[in-house]
Amino acid sequence: MSTKVYVVFYSMYGHIHRMAEAVAEGARAVPGAEVRLWQVPELVPEDVLEKSGAKAARAAFAQVPVIRPDQLPEADAIIFGAPTRFGNMCAQMRNFLDQTGGLWAKGALIGKVGSVFTSTATQHGGQESTLLSFHTTLLHHGMVIVGLPYSEARQMTLAEISGGSPYGASTISGGDGSRMPSENELAMARFQGRHVAQIAAKLAAGGQ
């Protein structure tokens, strides 16, 4: 029996996309997991993206399909990735989730596994508040929240600057966006993807 895992993300300069790929890699390591990578629609005008340099960065993952809200119920588990904006999820992800009211009314996501990863420019730029506030929306949908347990000991490292918390994997981009996810951060993302897929498989098997 297969388990469908959707990794749904928004990325402007590629940091979250790189983390999303690592999450998907980890999920694919679970036997029977069918993993798909999706991105949510962009809201920023093309000319603004070009001036900021984001248009060129986004070209690297332009092949990733854009998801519709009505596709979410197809998955057994959904792992969301979004950068922080002032301690909350970015507007693109918020706008996407705000379109899931019809799914909420039908209880279409109740019992599905939900998990989140994020990025910030600085070490204390709102990673935990973004992950925790994101969980609120998933709980309203009746999803089963899965984080990053301390069995993933990489989140406790003091040997280097690194993201990662019990609420989910994360990365630090630097003020100018020049820092891409470290191997430690990518390893945590892989762990999270694998962990979520394993739990989703168990829940799906129990439901049968």
How much is the pLDDT for 7? Answer: 98
Ligand-binding site membership of 61 (annotated) = no
Ligand-binding site membership of 85 (annotated) = yes
Q: What is the mean pLDDT of residues 87-102?
A: 98
Ligand-binding site membership of 188 (annotated) = no
Res. 83: pLDDT tops 70: yes
pTM of the entire predicted model: 0.97
Please tell me the total count of domains within the chain.
1
Res. 207: pLDDT tops 90: no
Cβ-based neighbours of 64, under 8 Å, separated by 6 or more: 17, 37, 38, 39
206 pLDDT tier (thresholds 50, 70, 90): confident
Supply the mean pLDDT for the chain: 96
Report pLDDT digits (tens) over 185-201: 999 999 999 999 999 99
* Token output for 24: 């998907």
User: Beta-carbon neighbour count of residue 100 at 10 Å?
Assistant: 18
**Inter-CA distances, 58 with 15, 49, 164, Å:** 10, 9, 24
Ligand-binding site membership of 14 (annotated) = yes
How much is the pLDDT for 128? Answer: 97
Supply the CATH number for residue 161's domain: 3.40.50.360
User: Beta-carbon neighbour count of residue 111 at 10 Å?
Assistant: 13
Report pLDDT digits (tens) over 3-61: 999 999 999 999 999 999 999 999 999 999 999 999 999 999 999 999 988 899 999 99
Ligand-binding site membership of 15 (annotated) = yes
Ligand-binding site membership of 12 (annotated) = yes
Ligand-binding site membership of 11 (annotated) = yes
* Token output for 148: 């990053």
Ligand-binding site membership of 135 (annotated) = no
- Listed residue (86, 114, 95, 80) closest to 203, CA to CA: 114
**Inter-CA distances, 207 with 48, 112, 143, 196, 202, Å:** 47, 11, 15, 16, 9
1 pLDDT tier (thresholds 50, 70, 90): confident
Ligand-binding site membership of 140 (annotated) = yes
How much is the pLDDT for 208? Answer: 59
Which range marks the domain in which residue 170 is found?
A: 3-207
SS3 79: strand
Q: Which helix (H) or strand (E) holds 91?
A: helix 91-97
Rg over alpha carbons for the chain, rounded to the nearest Å, is 16
Query: What is the share, in percent, of the chain residues with pLDDT greater than 70?
Result: 99
Find tokens 């706008």 and name the residue.
95
Query: Between 183-207 and 15-28, two packed helices, what is the crossing angle to 10 degrees?
Result: 50
130 pLDDT tier (thresholds 50, 70, 90): very high
